[in-house]
Structure 1
């Protein structure tokens, strides 16, 4: 059924060029075999475009989905809740916007409630939408609301975004010396997530929060795997990711580097995850999904991330974790212009001493839209020796295994 819809959807998706406009399109450079592989297998993405900023019209979101589906992307984990949805009412408003927005797509939509829905979407020529929250602020201190989130379709959730929340501290809080482990409320939220079947996601969480949460889960929920839904490994770029701003400044001074020097850093590459934390996640059966957004590539910021760059991110994670514990997740914001506006409005969530904006200034303006990369990425990974079985795991099966273990 999926192939029968492709011709129709390609015509409908031509308007998709207006989405993620900064991303170079590599699709036509890929081999026919790679394009076919994407069509024939389950490919899961992750994108995080707030309704107010990432996409500015329902048609823009619909076009994005149509283009993705026409090129073999089966579906995505889509973020609804961030600190900008800081109350239950604001979260509900965002959810309603997204519920309306996805239905504008020409592609049929399947709202994911169980793992089998991904295969069903693939078989029926539909696009699978899985809701994600990158914050718990919308709970407003009420852990019992986790059950309602599950009923609404939330299937993965972070304890915190970048800053400090009632559950613990994120990476921006860590940068600014305000780090803390999991709180009592955070433990209550974890218990509710495990009970109702929402996968624990450690993206944007500080190392202290990750490890204190895993310590708690080792005691209370020892057989429950977790994920990092969107982050490369710091070791891929040889960068420090757990330093405070003060520690980074001290390291720059010790190295004799000043602002303007090629190797000077304003902050640690805080969005990347350390090998040690990633390995602990893998040891309990979890998955780290590598994101291809250009400003994640510490010190190698460029105007167009290539499929080879993306393949190197994947390969770097596989070398550390093994092929059974790596996924892909572009973390696409659709348009960087709107990312800058979002970061400017919610400055407390991006107090990184100008690190991200500096990356934009250096040319990191693309979001690595998966529709424009997946086929060419397949060619690059095959050149590196990855088998079709390996690619099937990385593109979707690894995450589906974790979901099957954590959803109820």
Structure 2
């Protein structure tokens, strides 16, 4: 349930291709996407994804098309953003309202969706072949200065909190802050409260000092739900090897996104995504890497309307001061050769063709996220 305004400020705002020798070949529309036999039984988790229509009005119910795509995607869990980013005024109310809208959708479609609060819910979603929904903040702004709000949000289903967006907030510096000031005193208090309430800490979008200090301060494993590898493409949104290794050393998981920051310029392809996945596995080990698409679940229709809206969104993000280097009016928020609701299955097939074992692919597709989620949530 993504209205026009939410589409503007979310995440990074926010046929298969031949793949060989680490590079994408030309798009071949007639080629069937590669399959991965264990897919339908696997625990497939998108660490940061969205179900909705950018043209929908505020509070508008999910369309039948979106419901059908969610049902057919093969995803078993999606962490989806509730509440605003880079905004304090009205953020608490907007987050509560967003959770309420999702609660209504789950009630309307119990044959499709499952609320996820703990490890048992994760397994239920996989067993019943439904889509489990996890509520996630991409900015701690809805908590404001009131730590007791952590308890309020936990009661109504919040299970993951990203400490910062791109800019500075009360907790610490985001990845776009040149000062790189790290975690505030209030931020340390918030980390302690999140640990006490068994809420996952997410360090996507964080400044590098913020990430390092938060990993050290947390008594529980942390996530970087959606990022890329700075060793391959130096962008503020991507994480250094030191940050990736620190998350893994603490038992956490790093999710690789399907975003423009996977390459220096031009539209990213599956080859770019796989290059970042393989680098993350090299640095973190196969038990600490996942996928957080930062994309809509639905495939993109690259229409002139979509292109015009994308240009407008990028310009608005620049005016708001939340745009990150690498965002472009002509690079879109999807990967063309993974442009299907079943993109995780296509990706698994490509990884298998690269020689990755079924066991490793299962971990990357969601097994690693499930382990850490279960450990933290209980």
Name the TM-score, length of structure 2 as normaliser. Answer: 0.80
1:301 correspondence with 2:266: yes
The change in CA–CA distance for 1:398 and 1:49 in structure 2 (over 3 A counts) is closer
Partner of 2:174: 170
Partner of 2:124: 120
Give the unaligned 5+ runs of structure 1.
1-23, 241-268
Separation in structure 1 between the aligned mates of residue 327 and residue 198 of structure 2, nearest angstrom? 37
Contact 1:62–1:104, Cα closer than 8 Å, also in 2: no
Give the C-alpha shift of residue 372 in structure 1. 3.9
3-state DSSP of counterpart to 1:117 = helix
Contact 1:225–1:402, Cα closer than 8 Å, also in 2: yes
Give the C-alpha shift of residue 369 in structure 1. 5.4
Name the TM-score, length of structure 1 as normaliser. Answer: 0.75
Contact 1:66–1:107, Cα closer than 8 Å, also in 2: no
Contact 2:150–2:194, Cα closer than 8 Å, also in 1: yes
The number of residues matched between the two structures is 339
Contact 2:265–2:326, Cα closer than 8 Å, also in 1: no
Partner of 1:284: 250
**Deviation larger for 278-287 or 310-319:** 310-319
Give the C-alpha shift of residue 193 in structure 1. 0.5
Separation in structure 2 between the aligned mates of residue 310 and residue 130 of structure 1, nearest angstrom? 24
Separation in structure 2 between the aligned mates of residue 55 and residue 226 of structure 1, nearest angstrom? 33
Offset from partner CA, 1:181-238 (integer Å, 9 cap, x none): 1111111111110001111110000001111223333xxx2xx111100011122x2x
Give the C-alpha shift of residue 395 in structure 1. 1.2
Partner of 1:195: 196
**Deviation larger for 142-151 or 309-318:** 309-318
Partner of 2:274: 311
Give the unaligned 5+ runs of structure 2.
1-14, 18-28, 301-305
CA RMSD of aligned residues (A): 2.9
The change in CA–CA distance for 1:65 and 1:319 in structure 2 (over 3 A counts) is farther
Partner of 1:229: 225
1:37 correspondence with 2:2: no
Separation in structure 1 between the aligned mates of residue 242 and residue 76 of structure 2, nearest angstrom? 31
Separation in structure 2 between the aligned mates of residue 54 and residue 79 of structure 1, nearest angstrom? 18
Contact 2:344–2:365, Cα closer than 8 Å, also in 1: no
3-state DSSP of counterpart to 2:39 = helix
Contact 2:175–2:205, Cα closer than 8 Å, also in 1: yes
Offset from partner CA, 1:67-107 (integer Å, 9 cap, x none): 24313111200011332663211222222333334556585
Separation in structure 1 between the aligned mates of residue 55 and residue 295 of structure 2, nearest angstrom? 9
1:131 correspondence with 2:135: yes
Separation in structure 2 between the aligned mates of residue 44 and residue 383 of structure 1, nearest angstrom? 21
In the alignment, which of 317, 321, 341 is matched to residue 284 of structure 2?
A: 321
The change in CA–CA distance for 1:113 and 1:139 in structure 2 (over 3 A counts) is same
3-state DSSP of counterpart to 1:123 = helix
Partner of 1:245: none
What aligned pairs does 1:330-341 form with structure 2 within 5 A after superposition? Answer: 330-333=293-296, 341=312
Give the C-alpha shift of residue 55 in structure 1. 5.3
Offset from partner CA, 1:127-169 (integer Å, 9 cap, x none): 1001100111111210111111111111111111111100001
What aligned pairs does 1:62-81 form with structure 2 within 5 A after superposition? Answer: 63-81=65-83
The change in CA–CA distance for 1:329 and 1:214 in structure 2 (over 3 A counts) is closer
Separation in structure 2 between the aligned mates of residue 383 and residue 172 of structure 1, nearest angstrom? 37
Larger Rg: 1
Give the C-alpha shift of residue 52 in structure 1. 9.0
Offset from partner CA, 1:9-67 (integer Å, 9 cap, x none): xxxxxxxxxxxxxxx77897234x52x42212110113454979585574556633532
3-state DSSP of counterpart to 2:114 = strand
What aligned pairs does 1:344-355 form with structure 2 within 5 A after superposition? Answer: 344-346=315-317, 347-352=319-324, 355=325
Partner of 1:184: 185
Contact 2:191–2:217, Cα closer than 8 Å, also in 1: no
Separation in structure 2 between the aligned mates of residue 154 and residue 118 of structure 1, nearest angstrom? 15
3-state DSSP of counterpart to 1:371 = coil
Partner of 2:22: none
The change in CA–CA distance for 1:226 and 1:169 in structure 2 (over 3 A counts) is same
Contact 2:180–2:208, Cα closer than 8 Å, also in 1: no
